[in-house]
Each structure stands twice: as C-alpha cells, then as structure tokens.
Structure 1
Amino acid sequence: MFADFRDATAPAGDDWTIPQNWSHYTVEDHRVWDLLFARQQARLAGRAVRAFEEGLDVLRLSHSGIPDFDELNARLFARTGWTVVAVPGLVPDEVFFRHLSRRQFPAGNFIRSAKQLDYLEEPDVFHDVFGHVPMLTNPRVADVLEMLGHRGLEALDKGQLHRLSRLYWYTVEFGLAREDGALKIYGAGLASSFGEAGFALEDEAVARHRFDLARVLRTRYRSEAFQLCYFVIDSFDSLLDALESADLDALYATLDGLPELDAG
C-alpha cells in the first residue's frame, strides 16, 4: 500500500509536481528500496550497458535507503542539466512530455510494498529512479529524452501520440543495445524488472529487431505482460541521429496508410 503522504488528487499546479517528503518515508520503505536495489543490481550484472553502471556510481545510488531528490539532483544537474521532480504517480501525457522537454524527469514519490516486489502496475520511485535516472547521466541519452519530450508534445497536437508512445516504449522503457558485440539492457522497464531483465536477453522465442524508426512507430506493445519483441540500437549516438534527422510528419502520413504490426 502507498505511503500516507501520497496525495494523487491534489497536484501542486498544472505541472503535477509535489514535494518528495523524503522525511516521511518509513523504515520499511527504505528496507524495500534496499532489497529491490540489491536484488536488481545482482540481476543486471553483465546485462546492462556501461552507461547504466556508470550512472549508478555517479549518483551514488548504492547508498542505503530511498534517495533524497535534493541530493540526487545536485549530482545529476551538474552532469547533464537534468533534475528529478516528484509527482503523485502517473501524470497526463501533456504534463509528462512537457517535463521531459524541460529536462525534468517525473518520479513517483511512493514505493511499492514488500508484497509487490515483482510487479506494480503504476511506476514507483524504484522504477523511476533506479530504472531511468542512471541513464540520464549520459549526455546522449539526456538529449534523447529531451527530444522525445518535444516530439511528444508535437505528436499530441497532431493526434499521433499512439505512434510516439511506441518510440518511447521500445527505447526508453524496453530498449536493448549492442555493446562490444553483446546485447545489453538500457531501457528502464527492463532495468527495474527482475523477471524481464533476463527474459529480454535470453528467451529464445523473443524477436529482437535492429532498430528501425518506421517499424517501431508501427508496432503495438504490451503494457500488462513481458514484451514479445524488442528493438536493438547500435549506439546512443545512432539513436539520437535517427531522431534528429527524422521527418516524423512525413512518417506519420505514410504509416497512417499501412496496417499496424502486432507486438512480436
């Protein structure tokens, strides 16, 4: 169950930000974070890209307990100009992408219970901070997220959010990268999931496609179960280049005349 200070009905203004209220976390909350962190760090050994491991070190996330966003932001902002802002949970799409366009990452200020270690429908502070924030210490990934914020706002105006959300899903949340000849995890949904972190790399029935922007925009995804396909980038430079050079309006127009592709 969520902590008592979480108030999803009263965001502090149009940006939905609220205080993290770090002092209100309980001993049990911190214990759950430490358990999740230790378990997931061991699970990711040899499975995550170097940028993720480096981000953990830069942000000192191995320190015991849920991170204080003020301390976290001092290190993160100095690295890439990003900050983490506390929100009560899932926020409206426009709010979410506006935050990204301003180099602000919205993170839930609550943590799952010990009974929900393996699955939580709504992203909590562990998913958001452990899964996403280490990658934001990488300048290229930081630029990708900001660009996705701007592209997301544009997609909302054009009625194409369903396509742009697929791009976010198959990169930021469930992306794989080829690094030193091996497949590695960089997506936060994989980095924060004990089960899917292994599944994405090792299950023989899963399709792993080389990243192709048009195909990503056509491919549905699953939000309630492990993915049936993943997309593999060659590098963060190549991903940023693909986003910078893409004429998304033309792609949207072309893809609107083509059938959708099922996940997997």
Structure 2
Amino acid sequence: MAATHIFDAPPEGVAADWTMPQDWTAFTAEQHEIWQSLFDRQSAALDGYACRSFLGGLDILRRLKPGVPDFAELNALLKPVSGWEVVAVPGWIPNRPFFEHLANRRFPAANFLRPPEQIAYSEEPDMFHDIFGHVPMLADPAFSDFLVAYGQAGLRAEKLGASDFLGRLWLYTVEFGLVVEEGELRAFGGGLMSSLAETVSALTAPEPRRIWLDIERVMRTKYHFDRLQQTYFVVAGFGDLLRATEETDFASIYRRIADQPALDPGDGWPGDLAYEGRLPAVPAGGERRS
C-alpha cells in the first residue's frame, strides 16, 4: 500500500506554512490506547540499544499525560530545554516548508496515528514515528544544532536542485543513524527508535554493512523504503556530525556526484571505512527481528 498522507498543496484547514491545529480533543479512546501501547512497548525495549541522548530525552514524553501527546503540553516542556517546538502537519509536506521549519527550530509532526491493523508496522511515518522517534533527540544540544544546520543546508539545496542528495543524508542519520558511546554502538535514528525489529538488526545482525559516516558517500547511496536497510552509517558523536555538516561544502559535492551513478544500498565503495568496534549483545533467545 502506498503512503496516503502526501500533499502537493496545503489541504483545507492547513496554513500556507503547512501547519495545522492539532485538535487534540478529536483523538479517540482507541487512538490513545494505540499510542500508549506503542509507547510502553518501545520505551521498555530500547535500553541497551538506544543512545543516552535518546533515553534521556524520552523523559520529556514520560512527563506527559497518558495517550496521544497534546502538542501544547509537550511544547511547554520541550521548548525551555531545547528551544524547539513541535508543529502539527498533515503528513508528508514539500521540501521548502520542511527545511524552513527545521531551520527555525520547529519540528513537523504528522497529525495522524497509524490504524490498529498497522500497530506493529506503519506503512508511512505517523505521529508515533515523528514524536517518539525524533523528539527525544531534540534535547541534545549538538544534535538539535545539526538539525538547524540541516534545514539551512536544505534551503540552499532547493535552489540548486539537490534536495534528493541531501535527503539521503537525512535518512542515513536522522532516521537510521548509529553512534559510538563508550566504545559500543548505539542507535539514534528515529526510524530505528520507532521500530524495535530494525534497531536490533541494525545493531546486532551480521548481515548489514556498518560504515563510518562520509557525507559524499551517503549522498550517493540509495535506500530502502519497504525493508530493513543493508547499510548503516556510524558517527563518533553528535558534535562530529554537526561539524561535518557545518564545515562541508555541500555545493561542491552536489556538482561532483551529479553525473555519477547512485550506489545501491548494499554496494561497497572504495573509500568505505568499516566500523569494527563492539556491537551490543544479541537479545536473549537470539531473536533479531519481531
């Protein structure tokens, strides 16, 4: 099934900047139960897999009343500690408003929740993915500054017609990124945090390639929409990720790779530097996917 919450123009009730009222009171008792079930399951399972910044930021969500988060209540807790606020959007929005929101410390979150039949796996990013997967990381100063720098880079990329290249950097860091903490690999990407099966696979399975982040390499690498990634990129820390983003001349990379073939997700590259440090232990029973 294709994603359904994709828009080319703001639908009725959505502002020109693609924001909309959350209308928290419209969420049903069933939706509140779905959210709480997902939250309880994921938050209990991620210890030992998620990075410290994510686990610490998760405390912000724990302080909310049970059920679907009320963005007004969430922002009252989030903004004082991070400078960020969450804004409701209808789903996938165009690049320019997305980049503008990030550059101004506004995180767009889908204003819909997956249906009951997709509780284990949502076919498109929903509110749980956006809030649970991403909001805890906003409390990390270096990572939140990286998102601002990414938004600013995105606005420049739009003018150069290079947003697709920059989108790959988003996917392989903000969605599926890995970081080294105390010599061991941990997950920080929102796509991993909202999918325990892929978190465990990314960190413990023997099959995926785990490569130190190289921005040009990332921008040349395609990715999977509908199955586990074959390649994950590793950063030494969020300060390193921020510096790489601020110091890299993206425009020169765009020009250099514009006429080069994209790499398939599982392809190797001559410049690859494999991560060869410690991986977390495989879960009890050897289960890698659920």
RMSD: 1.5
Distance in 2 (CA, whole Å) between partners of 1:61 and 1:155 is 38
Per the alignment, residue 93 of structure 1 pairs with: 95
Q: Measure how far apart 1:114 and its partner are.
A: 2.0
Q: Give the SS at the match of 1:46.
A: coil
Say if 2:64 and 2:73, in contact at 8 Å, map to a contact too.
no
Per-residue CA distance 1:32-76 (angstroms, 9 max, x = gap): 011101111122121000000110113435742111101111111
Distance in 2 (CA, whole Å) between partners of 1:157 and 1:86 is 26
Amino acid at match of 1:251: I
Distance in 1 (CA, whole Å) between partners of 2:120 and 2:21 is 27
Q: Give the SS at the match of 1:190.
A: helix
Q: Unaligned stretches of 5+ in structure 1?
A: 3-7
Distance in 1 (CA, whole Å) between partners of 2:104 and 2:123 is 26
Within the candidate set 190, 193, 210, 1:191 is matched to 193
Per the alignment, residue 85 of structure 2 pairs with: 83
Per the alignment, residue 59 of structure 2 pairs with: 57
Per-residue CA distance 1:174-217 (angstroms, 9 max, x = gap): 10111111111100000001221111111111001011111111
Per-residue CA distance 1:81-112 (angstroms, 9 max, x = gap): 11000011111111211111111011111111
Give matches, 1:220-231, under 5 Å: 220-231=222-233
Within the candidate set 146, 166, 169, 1:167 is matched to 169
Amino acid at match of 1:124: D
Per-residue CA distance 1:120-174 (angstroms, 9 max, x = gap): 2221110010000000011111111111111111111101111100001100011
Per the alignment, residue 28 of structure 2 pairs with: 26
Distance in 2 (CA, whole Å) between partners of 1:127 and 1:110 is 10
Say if 1:101 and 1:150, in contact at 8 Å, map to a contact too.
yes
State TM-score, norm by structure 1. 0.93
Say if 1:101 and 1:149, in contact at 8 Å, map to a contact too.
yes
Q: Give the SS at the match of 2:121.
A: coil
Amino acid at match of 1:17: T
Per the alignment, residue 201 of structure 1 pairs with: 203
Per the alignment, residue 138 of structure 2 pairs with: 136
Per the alignment, residue 71 of structure 1 pairs with: 73
Deviates more, 1:250-259 or 1:198-207: 250-259
Q: Give the SS at the match of 1:183.
A: strand
Q: Give the SS at the match of 2:159.
A: helix
Distance in 1 (CA, whole Å) between partners of 2:220 and 2:205 is 23
Distance in 1 (CA, whole Å) between partners of 2:192 and 2:167 is 17
Amino acid at match of 2:85: T
Distance in 2 (CA, whole Å) between partners of 1:205 and 1:26 is 41
Is 2:274 the partner of 1:247? no
Q: Unaligned stretches of 5+ in structure 2?
A: 5-9, 267-290
Distance in 2 (CA, whole Å) between partners of 1:26 and 1:108 is 16
Amino acid at match of 2:206: E
Instruction: Report how many aligned residue pairs link the two structures.
Output: 258
Per the alignment, do residues 46 and 61 of structure 1 end up closer, same or farther by CA in structure 2, a change over 3 Å counting?
A: farther
Distance in 2 (CA, whole Å) between partners of 1:205 and 1:116 is 27
Say if 1:118 and 1:194, in contact at 8 Å, map to a contact too.
no
Amino acid at match of 1:43: A
Within the candidate set 100, 119, 122, 1:120 is matched to 122
Distance in 2 (CA, whole Å) between partners of 1:14 and 1:58 is 30
Amino acid at match of 1:54: G
Deviates more, 1:232-241 or 1:59-68: 59-68
Aligned identity (percent) is: 47
Per the alignment, do residues 48 and 196 of structure 1 end up closer, same or farther by CA in structure 2, a change over 3 Å counting?
A: same
Is 2:49 the partner of 1:43? no
Q: Give the SS at the match of 2:234.
A: strand
